[in-house]
Structure 1
Amino acid sequence: MTQCPGATPYPIPPAVQEAYGPADLGSMPLFAGGFINFGYWQGIDLDQPLTEHDRISSELAMYRHVLAALAPTEGLRALEVGCGRGIGSAVALEEYGFAHVTGMDIHPQQLERAQQANSGLLARHPEQLRFAHGAAESMPFGDGEFDRVHSVEAAQHFRDLDAFARETARVLRPGGRAAVASFFVPDADPARAARLAELLDSFATGLDVAHTIPLLTDSLERAGLTGIRVTPIGTSVWTGWDRWLAKTWKPDTWPRNFLRAYGEGILDYFTVTAERPEK
């Protein structure tokens, strides 16, 4: 793990510390295969009983969906913000032809798991893959160090989207591109946060933050990024995620309320892309 001298330490929110520390969210069967995302279920038959293979395929498909939005990728340098166990960073290196991939996470225990999970790949490609300790709001990298920045289902944990956007713009080279995929409130209605806390424990405890899409796009614009494009992908996420949850969670338990929140129009899943101008 690396940290640039002088990088500003950033506190780990207590709920994030717990979920990704001793509790190790990624070890739960709900997140099979080492990935930690709700899945991109397009092309998976949801009318048949879902298997662990289906679940892993959905998580891998989410990464492929995001990484495809960064094309071209061949020979470029990429940063994943909130890499968790680093399985997605490995996918970026092995499937998308990046010259170098850095996976960054705020949680030291997640980085230890990333080193272990990818020990073979790190041994084979010591100059092409690294894992670094840092926060989305205070990245330990030089200006313009990366051609591409991506984040998969981590932005709901970030406490300061303005700081994340500024740091993303800073570490991107001119002409570089960023892609963020996660679940957000689709509008600026201030009542949404309270309703999400009623429905979903992850919002009530502070693990997830009810960020809005307008807040994210405004933050990216203020940071000087352009060409911002917002793509809702909830139709490929929520039904599949709920059917996978149904294997272990009853309809009246809080995780099943993600689909309900989507149905009420207070939460959706999005891919957001932006670019740093050439000049």
Structure 2
Amino acid sequence: MDPTELRDRMYGPEDLATRDMFAGGFINFGYWASIPLDGPLSVEQRITSQRRLYEVALDALGVSPATRLLEVGCGRGLGTALAAGAYRARSAHGVDIHPDQVARARRANAEAIRAGRGRLDYRQGAANDLPFPDGSFERVLSVEAAQHFDDVPGFAREAFRVLSPGGRLLVTTFFATGESYAGELASLLETMRMGIDHATSVGSMARALTAAGFSEVSTRSIGEHVWPGWDRWLAQTEGANHWTRNWLTAYRLGLLDYYVVVAQRAA
């Protein structure tokens, strides 16, 4: 099956968020710092890890009541709603390429949408064709979605376009640590073998952002706070021999890591 069709099925009728590994609906691997990993993990701890990944990103972005925020690849929209709620962003818009996810985001956050009176919104759109005018946002965010982007340079150009001067972009997800690891990662990880995830290198993402016009592009590993907890949760929910356990193996082999990538649009 074509990788795009596989992603459409995964985020459409199969609804990845209903699987135990993504309990809570945020659909990310989680940030597990301060969560004990030496015993059984609760669903509440799993949800906390996913929310905490968003908090790490939103804190690094400097989201405030003056911020107009766009999240690219918003999924069920829980992170976008967090920005509008707990972080009191002036507005928070979520975009996702999958219409089923947009519908779920609107249902899951219906009360917050009504209460926000236009501050919280979800719509369908592609990362390389964002449905907003130039300079619409002070901050653009993407949490664990960029591994799916078929056109990383196109995403970089669109993120630059919709940011106002002085705006900031943050992307956090897993990236290959080098340019030539696609084959090794495909042998370890089924989603990469099938083309659902791309073995995009962190260096190629940084270069695409620079080429799009961003300045002060930085990359920071947070893998030590992601991979051990993610693997521990997978062992508990998916079983010791499931293919997903190879994420930690790939990390330990130095083939991939989890990064926070920040880029600035000059004022």
Alignment TM class, shorter chain as reference: over 0.9
The alpha-carbon deviation at position 250 of structure 1 amounts to 2.9
Does residue 229 of structure 1 match 2:223? Answer: no
Could you tell me how far apart the structure 1 residues matched to 2:53 and 2:146 are? 15
Could you tell me how far apart the structure 1 residues matched to 2:19 and 2:238 are? 13
Could you tell me how far apart the structure 2 residues matched to 1:221 and 1:12 are? 28
Partner in structure 2 of residue 4 of structure 1:
none
Partner in structure 2 of residue 115 of structure 1:
106
Paired residues of 1:184 and 1:211 also in contact (CA < 8 A): yes
Does residue 148 of structure 1 match 2:139? Answer: yes
Paired residues of 1:12 and 1:107 also in contact (CA < 8 A): no
Could you tell me how far apart the structure 2 residues matched to 1:197 and 1:18 are? 20
Task: Write the mapping of 1:1-279 to structure 2, written as runs, cut at 5 A.
Answer: 13-188=4-179, 190=180, 192-278=181-267
Could you tell me how far apart the structure 2 residues matched to 1:44 and 1:100 are? 31
May I ask how many residue pairs the two structures share in their alignment?
A: 266
Paired residues of 1:179 and 1:272 also in contact (CA < 8 A): yes
The alpha-carbon deviation at position 205 of structure 1 amounts to 1.2
Could you tell me how far apart the structure 2 residues matched to 1:160 and 1:193 are? 17
Q: RMSD over aligned Cα, in angstroms?
A: 1.2
Paired residues of 1:181 and 1:271 also in contact (CA < 8 A): yes
The alpha-carbon deviation at position 248 of structure 1 amounts to 2.5
Q: What's the TM-score, normalizing by structure 1? A: 0.93
After superposing on structure 2, the runs of 4+ consecutive aligned residues of structure 1 that deviate more than 3 Å are none
Paired residues of 2:69 and 2:138 also in contact (CA < 8 A): yes
Could you tell me how far apart the structure 1 residues matched to 2:250 and 2:4 are? 24
Could you tell me how far apart the structure 1 residues matched to 2:112 and 2:63 are? 23
1:179-238, Cα deviation, whole Å (9 max, x unpaired):
0000000122x2x11111111111111110000011000000000001111010000000
Identity over the aligned pairs, expressed in percent?
45
Q: What's the TM-score, normalizing by structure 2? A: 0.97
Partner in structure 2 of residue 8 of structure 1:
none
Could you tell me how far apart the structure 2 residues matched to 1:232 and 1:140 are? 31
1:61-85, Cα deviation, whole Å (9 max, x unpaired):
0000000011152221000000000
The alpha-carbon deviation at position 126 of structure 1 amounts to 2.3
Paired residues of 2:73 and 2:145 also in contact (CA < 8 A): yes
Could you tell me how far apart the structure 1 residues matched to 2:141 and 2:188 are? 29
Paired residues of 1:12 and 1:106 also in contact (CA < 8 A): no
The alpha-carbon deviation at position 249 of structure 1 amounts to 2.5
* 5+ long unaligned stretches in structure 1: 1-10
Paired residues of 1:148 and 1:172 also in contact (CA < 8 A): yes
